[in-house]
Amino acid sequence: GEDVEQSLFLSVREGDSSVINCTYTDSSSTYLYWYKQEPGAGLQLLTYIFSNMDMKQDQRLTVLLNKKDKHLSLRIADTQTGDSAIYFCAESIQDTDKLIFGTGTRLQVFP
Amino acid sequence: NAGVMQNPRHLVRRRGQEARLRCSPMKGHSHVYWYRQLPEEGLKFMVYLQKENIIDESGMPKERFSAEFPKEGPSILRIQQVVRGDSAAYFCASSPGAQAEAFFGQGTRLTVV
């Protein structure tokens, strides 16, 4: 079946790096995504990675994909208080157009 | 180019009433997706529509829920005879085509009292 899991909470000090992890079960994923949700707001697409890649970097964001272990991570360098939000990983399944979301990781950045 | 517009942003309904949630996709987008987010949970896929067609409704509850995307006008998610368990945030996303990036709206927060 399709299942995406994330740890629920992460707390980091401002200026440190944050690493948010995600595991998924469906090996036919085509794209894997990271979304950010601030309180009371919709979802903002941060970055995505194609399933045949193992790394993607975009400014402060680095995505690592271990397809063998079905493990995805998002690293945020120099974390700021404005990065405090819930982060969702999601996978798109081959031949469908729906996204399967994880439960979200609440990132709290303290001074 | 306005983003995906959902209205209302907040909706309160009494048990047994009907809820109608609207979603106007981005200009040029003909694919619409509805997701539901229960409190403290991730988003769950409900339905995927193209103009006048339901493509995938595998996530829709079997009763009381329906969705449409007419040739003209917004997509509508309709919940009949709402119950407390329907209280959630309902998000709409649109894309210009299959397997393309989907953009999300701000969501409609439904509260059933």
Q: How confident is the model at residue A3 (pLDDT cuts 50, 70, 90)?
A: confident
CB B24 within 8 A of CB B61: no
Q: What is the pLDDT of residues A25-81, one digit of tens each?
A: 887 778 899 999 998 788 899 999 988 889 999 999 999 999 999 999 999 999 999
The mean predicted confidence, pLDDT, of chain B is: 93
| Interface contact B43, partner A, CB < 8 A | yes
Q: What is the pLDDT of residues B35-49, one digit of tens each?
A: 999 887 889 999 999
pLDDT of residue A42: 83
Residues of A in contact with B42 (CB under 8 A): 4, 88, 101-104
Q: How confident is the model at residue A2 (pLDDT cuts 50, 70, 90)?
A: low
Residue of B44, B99, B104 with shortest CB distance to A43: B104
Contacts made by residues B62-70, CB under 8 angstroms, sequence distance 24+: B67/B34, B69/B32
Local structure of A66: helix, strand or coil: strand
CB A42 within 8 A of CB A33: no
CB contact (8 A) between residue A4 and residue B105:
no
pLDDT of residue A40: 78
CB contact (8 A) between residue B43 and residue A30:
no
pLDDT of residue A1: 57
Residues of A in contact with B102 (CB under 8 A): 99
**Strand ranges, E, within chain B:** 5-7, 10-13, 19-24, 31-37, 43-50, 53-56, 65-68, 75-79, 88-95, 103-104, 108-112
